[in-house]
Structure 1
Amino acid sequence: MCGIAGWIDWERDLSHEQRTVQLMGKALECRGPDDHGAFLSRNAAFAHRRLVVVDPAGGAQPMTRRLGENAYTLVYNGELYNTDDVRKELLEEGYTFQSYSDTEVVLISYMAWGSRCLEKFNGIFAFAVWDEANQRLFMARDRLGVKPLFYARQGSRILFSSELKGILAHPDFVPEVDAEGLAEVFAIGPAKTPGHGIFKGVNEVRAGHWILASKEGMRDEVYWTLRSIPHEHTLEETVEHTRVLFEDAVRRQLVSDVPVCTFLSGGLDSSGVSAIAAEYYAQTGREPLHTYSVEIEDMEKHFTANSFQKSLDAPWAMKISEHLGTVHHRVVVPMQQMIDDLLTPLEVRDVPGMADIDVSMYLFCKAVKENHTVALTGEAADEVFGGYPWFHRQESLDADTFPWSLRLGERMRIMSSDLKETIRPEEYVSRRYQEALAEVERLPGEDAAEARVREIGYLSITRFLPTLLDRKDRMSMGASLEARVPFTDHRLVEYVYNVPWAMKACDGEIKGLLRRVLRDKLPHDALYRKKSPYPGTPNAEYLEATRRLALDMIADSNSPILPLIDVGAVKQLAQESYQPMEHRPWFGQILGTAQLFHYLVEVNEWLKTWKIRLV
């Protein structure tokens, strides 16, 4: 994986702007600590930071290839899992290669097929190509949006980057946030609207989209979306077809020139990925698979089973590891380290995020990186197979809003009157919800109940999943670790999206279809273990630390967040937090009291760090 950044200007000579483009690339150093490169021409300047995974010698970037008299230059972040298939097709059409890297395959594919190349790719990617002869910039992002890409068009200039910090590093870019950006931060939260860059004038290339930019303007096109089609298979056929797709996705993603491991929480999703990977390693005569789990120090002392989390992960991770014969690594994050690094994820994300689960994920990824560069994870299974409570709780099915926004009122409690008047949070969330619903392709003849579950599935995949993918990308790449997500294989997503709910929840089980797929891979009790979210911390020390920081923040008259929050409400919340309360990990919105304090402190630090102007 890598970090990419660029500056296009049709009215300015950029051939001597090496210092600026290097600054943009330097901001992304954690995404690519192994190598770096730059490309400068009159109207285009690219920067690249490289994390070497495949073809160390042949995959250097920026990469330029010629077709006739024209030169094409690429910067690319990602991984193609069908590189050999695409290369073979290009060879048959007469194209030649200088390396075996997927980078060159992406570039030659664009030269050969233009935007149609995206239809042939199976992978996770974000890339940009400068077409020198036609003076055009092409940018694209993978179907599910695993890899990020932001851009800002300002007159004759376009800035782009894997992360916002690459754009913010440009000396001429002024960080401003308007009412819409504030609505994303305070009303939408980490589950931000696709395409939104938070900062004024900054957008995100949407998942499954490509953009062609020229001096005359920009063209934004969809090349992939979730389509609604009738499901013709029986349950048995559905289980078998899903198994084939899932196993192929995992096996494709094990390809690497550096060591590969898996995350293993002991839950169904990561256990399934680990089971297929371990089996493949055994079949191909490799050394045993390495697996990693994370827990927070003294979790067993502070943990109480509740409606959000039924059991601790650690014993289950060890049970699965022993069953699969993996070499297991138990990463225990010290509580003091959690507190010391409360604001570290903000440096990685560039915008406020997910509180304690960001911190533990970042520290976990740092520990994994000590021995491995690539990890396979279980993200996306709940969105694709219907694992969240909102797929079956009537309250969520009946709600006229995002299922994870049902408790918007808890966030509004701490907003200032001026902020609420400015952003109109309920209206803003409602508008974004209606926009999302309007995208859902209806299936003729589908009954109301099935149609509603389809809507929930669409919202989960296109609005909620990007939040978790973004978190996984930032926290892993912040530690220079490549995280792959087999459940986002577009063939699997397309197929399971159209499976009727009765099959997805077969045997009376949430994610019953996935459990059937994995029936012969996992122990029975692990196969039917109830869902457990990624571990936050119920330790009172975390609450004490975040409460103290929040109270210090509102006591400081220079805190930039003060006009945006109701100081009295924060004080009252602090007073209430001394009473016993159920630990509520992040689940769509920042709901836990400690997490809310943490989030507010992040917002304040964000406003200070970037010297953001509110406009």
Structure 2
Amino acid sequence: MCGIAGIMRFENDQGPTVSMLRKMTHMMQHRGPNHTGIRIIDNQVGLGFTRLSILDLSNGSQPLSNEDQTFWLIFNGEIYNYQSLRIELEGLGHRFQTNTDSEVIVHLYEEYQERCVDKLRGMFAFAIWDRKNKQMFAARDHFGIKPFYYYLDHKKFVFASEIKSIIAVEDINPAVDPKSLLHYLTLQYVPQPATMFRGVSKLEPGHFLKIDSRGRITKQRYWEPSFEAEDRPLETFIEEIRYSLRNSVKLHTQSDVPLGSFLSGGIDSTAIASFLASQRSVKTFSVGFEGEQNENVVARQIAEALGTNHFEELISAQHFFEDTMKAVWHMDEPIADPSAIAVYRLAQLAGEQVTVALSGEGADELFGGYRIYREPHSLKPLSWMPAGVKKRLKQYVGEIPFSFYGKNYIRRALTPLQERFFGNANIFSEDEKRMVLNFHPDLYKNWEPTTEITRAIYEEHKNLDDITRMQLIDLQLWLPGDILMKADKMSMAHSLEVRVPFLDKEVFEIARKIPASLLVAKGTTKYVLRKALEGIVPFPVLDRPKLGFPVPLRKWLQTSIGDIMIEQIENSGIDQWIQIIYVKEMLKQHRRGKVDYSRKIWTIYIFSLWHSLYIQQSSIKRALVN
């Protein structure tokens, strides 16, 4: 795992400098504390690299080239099939100087050009300067496990693993992107390809881009998730899941450094830890919160059953809020997922013992694990009604008293899926956003409902069942925008590489064929996965409900912590965007106990911290370094 950064200057402009590349790499030294490499090529391209040594510890420094230096690579990630690819390339006449997966990529590009990405199995974000064609080629892995950001104007193309490295460039000044703020308030993250920084974009998962020496950019999708259910026996899927997961975990253990596994107490992380523990001795790590929902208790029991060397930490409210500002800085963008702070602490704990940790991200999206995936079944009693009848009835739902049990059920049953499901977070509705947002001309000029973000996915897959369409929304938006972003940024903050065996191409090939009727069955999510894990994971875990990292925000806001959060919001300079008086009123209502506004207040709070760090600072370049 590493950090990459680069600048490409266009014709008739001054070339990149070593000092500029040093600033960019310095901003993400945490991603690669073992080595920094910088190279200026053709007085047009500058490549920077910070290395966290995982494979071939003595070699593997970057930027790295092929034999005649016509292709120069910087690469962040891991390629799990690199050894078989190397054998293939050696048979074609390629010669290698190291034992790294990085060198395989540069030779693969030399041989296959842009189609090299089709052969890769792993997590990656990389850029190759093609001196023959005078173009930059960049690609991001299939699911978006590794980040890739870029900035483009008429003079230059700037890219990096983290946005803070991009805005370290002198003439790139950070500013809020209004449309991104609108979507963030609903989704709790900024959906791709945008970021919260105006002018900075994400390269989407499963995409590559090419940019020539005149600044002309082309972007192409090389892979996208698709589901084609097959009518096969349950036992066949069970065997295939077991085989593919066992194989994926084995591949993900390739490492020349100590390796461990996260263990939350849920079925996903327990599955990974179980397969890992069957192959080697392993260290496991968990965190929990003071109070009833302490996941450490269950994680400890699982670790004992698996025979792992277990480490745990209890997170207090004080520790949680002490870490929040640091986590926001490392995240680059505001991501209002409270569990991100728990992951930050978990990665810190693991990073003290190992350099690589396996984790269970992706299982919910592939195997139907979110509780909301049960909704298409639970809403069936009202689903028979014609669309016109539903629309008319929905007009009267607002008149039902708030205290009426089942009001929300009726409202959701009468609302089409594409209007009610944007992924696993739905913080502020369109009407609520109009209330909490201050009048700002840029906001209303750029107003776009969140349904526009998901509309294309729903339209493309309108013939699929509702559960599968929900999976596709989560795979293309929620997974890369929230889950994988926090996994990467929170772990790399502590120079820890997190690997996610569920998000393997071969595992997905099995998952995409499973009918929705086997994903959610008998009132249970991840039904077929649970069946496949019988006899592999400790029995009590199979029936445990999904909790994630349950953060007691609701309770904390009842204390003085809520007042401290409001004070931060007031002093962050976001009043040009947010009506602070509305946020204060939400806290009052929350403390009366009739409504839970904790996630709404937290979403504003995280935006305020981000704004303080990246926008409000008078000298952002110096402030970021500090």
What TM-score do the two structures reach when normalised by structure 2?
0.87
Structure 1 segment 383-398 matched on structure 2, within 5 A = 383-393=365-375, 394=379, 395=412, 398=416
Mean CA deviation greater in 196-205 or 52-61: 196-205
For residues 209-248 of structure 1, what are the structure 2 equivalents within 5 Å? Answer: 209-216=207-214, 217-248=216-247
CA contact (8 A) 2:71 2:130 kept: yes
- Counterpart contact for 1:148–1:162, Cα < 8 Å: yes
Judging changes above 3 Å, is the alpha-carbon distance between structure 1 residues 263 and 479 closer, same or farther for their aligned structure 2 residues? Answer: same
Partner of 1:79: 78
1:62-461 equivalences under 5 Å are 62-67=63-68, 71-190=70-189, 192-216=190-214, 217-281=216-280, 288-296=281-289, 299-300=290-291, 303=292, 312-354=294-336, 356-393=338-375, 394=379, 395=412, 398-401=416-419, 402-404=422-424, 406-409=426-429, 412=433, 415-419=436-440, 422-423=443-444, 427-440=448-461, 451-461=465-475
The alpha-carbon deviation at position 10 of structure 1 amounts to: 2.4
Moved more, 12-21 or 322-331: 12-21
CA distances 1:346-399 after superposition (whole Å, capped 9, x unpaired): 110122122542222212211211111100001111111111122121338843
8 Å CA contact 1:182, 1:423 repeated in 2 = no
Instruction: Work out whether 1:567 is the aligned partner of 2:570.
Output: no
Read off the aligned partner of 1:267 and give its amino acid letter.
G
Could you say if the C-alpha distance between residues 280 and 542 of structure 1 is closer, same or farther in structure 2, counting changes exceeding 3 Å?
farther
Identity %: 27
CA deviation vs aligned residue, 1:20-56 (integer Å, no higher than 9, x gap): 1110111111111111010102110011001111111
Deviation at 1:572, TM superposition (A): 1.2
**Preserved contact between residue 438 and residue 575 of structure 2 (Cα < 8 Å):** no
Deviates more, 1:29-38 or 1:326-335: 326-335
Deviation of 1:541 after TM superposition, in Å, equals: 4.7
Partner Cα distance (1:353, 1:96) in 2: 44
- Counterpart residue identity of residue 22, structure 2: Q
Cross-structure match for 1:31: 31
Q: Distance in 1 between matches of 2:355 and 2:618?
A: 30
CA distance in 2, matches of 1:174, 1:538: 34
Counterpart Cα distance in 1 of 2:618 and 2:508 = 38
| Structure 1 equivalent of residue 615 of structure 2 | 607
How far apart in 1 are the matches of 2:244 and 2:616?
Answer: 47
Deviations 1:116-144 (A, max 9, x none): 11111110000000012321100000000
1:576 aligns with 2:589: yes
Matched residue of 2:310: which SS? strand
Residue 524 of structure 1: CA displacement?
2.3
Q: Matches of 2:618 and 2:333 in 1, distance apart?
A: 10
Q: 8 Å contact 2:7–2:157 — kept in the other structure?
A: yes
* CA apart distance, 1:426: 8.0
For 1:74 and 1:243, the matched residues in 2 are separated by: 36
- The CA distance in 2 between the partners of 1:163 and 1:523, in whole Å, is 39
Whether 2:48 is the aligned partner of 1:47: answer yes
Q: Displacement of 1:406 after TM fit? A: 4.7
The one-letter amino acid of 2:31's match is R
Change (3 A) 1:550 1:513: same
Task: Report the 3-state secondary structure (helix = DSSP H, G, I; strand = E; otherwise coil) of the residue aligned with 2:365.
Answer: helix
Distance 1:100 1:545, change over 3 A: farther
Contact 1:62–1:75 (CA<8 Å) still a contact in 2? yes
Distance 1:561 1:592 in 2: 18
- Stretch of structure 1 that moved more, 255-264 or 506-515: 506-515
The residue number in structure 2 matching 1:308 is none
**TM-score, scaled to structure 1:** 0.88
Q: Is the 8 A contact 2:355 2:497 kept in 1?
A: yes
Gaps of at least 5 residues in structure 2 are: 380-411, 621-626
Residue 497 of structure 1 and its aligned partner are, at CA, apart by 2.4
Contact 2:424 2:474 (C-alpha < 8 Å) held by counterparts? no
Q: 1:94 to 1:17 in 2, by over 3 A?
A: same
- Alpha-carbon distance change, 55 to 583 in structure 1, aligned in 2, over 3 angstroms: farther
CA change 1:94–1:600 in 2 (3 A) is: closer
Distance change >3 Å, CA 403–CA 135, structure 1 → 2? closer
CA distance in 2, matches of 1:256, 1:551: 45
- The aligned amino acid for 2:311 is H
- Cα distance in 1 for partners of 2:575, 2:514 equals 48
* 1:555-609, Cα deviation, whole Å (9 max, x unpaired): 55xx42012112221121222233346878xxxxxx5355245324324424314
Q: Deviations over 1:391-413 (max 9, x none)?
A: 12133884333154555238527
2-structure distance, mates of 1:518, 1:416: 47
Q: Matches of 1:172 and 1:505 in 2, distance apart?
A: 52
**In the aligned structure 2, how far is the partner of 1:418 from the partner of 1:342?**
29
- Residue 393 of structure 2 is matched in structure 1 by none
Check conservation: 1:126, 1:142, Cα contact below 8 A: yes
Tell me how far apart the structure 2 counterparts of residues 406 and 133 of structure 1 sit (CA, whole Å).
48
Distance 2:129 2:528 in 1: 44
Q: How large is the RMSD of aligned CA atoms in angstroms?
A: 2.5
Task: Using the TM superposition, give the Cα deviation of residue 508 of structure 1 relative to its aligned residue in structure 2, in angstroms.
Answer: 4.7
Please identify, of 342-351 and 593-602, the stretch whose mean Cα deviation from structure 2 is larger. Answer: 593-602
Deviation digits for residues 509-562 of structure 1 (CA, Å, limit 9, x no counterpart): 211111111101123222111111223134845654542234324655xx4201
Contact 1:14 / 1:40 at 8 angstroms: preserved in 2? no
Change (3 A) 1:516 1:574: same
Q: Mean alpha-carbon deviation: is it higher for 497-506 or for 95-104?
A: 497-506
Looking at structure 2, the residues matched to 277 and 122 of structure 1 have their Cα atoms a distance apart, in angstroms, of: 19
CA contact (8 A) 1:339 1:545 kept: no
- Residue 280 of structure 1 aligns to a residue in which SS? coil
Q: Using the TM superposition, name which of 506-515 and 393-402 deviates more.
A: 393-402
Q: Number of paired residues? A: 577
For the residue of structure 2 that corresponds to 1:400, the secondary structure is: helix
Q: Is the 8 A contact 1:561 1:607 kept in 2?
A: no
The Cα of 1:189 is off from its aligned counterpart by: 2.7
- Residues 8 and 16, structure 2, Cα contact 8 Å, conserved in 1: no
Distance 1:563 1:335, change over 3 A: same
The 1:104–1:14 alpha-carbon spacing in structure 2 relative to 1, beyond 3 Å, is farther
After superposition, residues 509-548 of structure 1 pair within 5 angstroms as 509-538=524-553, 540-541=555-556, 544=559, 546-548=561-563
**Against the structure 1 CA distance between its residues 101 and 392, is the aligned structure 2 distance closer, same or farther, given a 3 Å change threshold?**
same
Query: Which runs of 5 or more structure 1 residues have no equivalent in the other structure?
Result: 282-287, 304-310, 585-590
* Closer, same or farther: CA 72–546 of 1 in aligned 2, 3 Å: farther
Q: Per the alignment, in what secondary structure is the counterpart of residue 40 of structure 1?
A: strand
Alpha-carbon offset, residue 185 of structure 1: 3.3
CA distance 1:315–1:439, shift in 2 (3 Å):
same
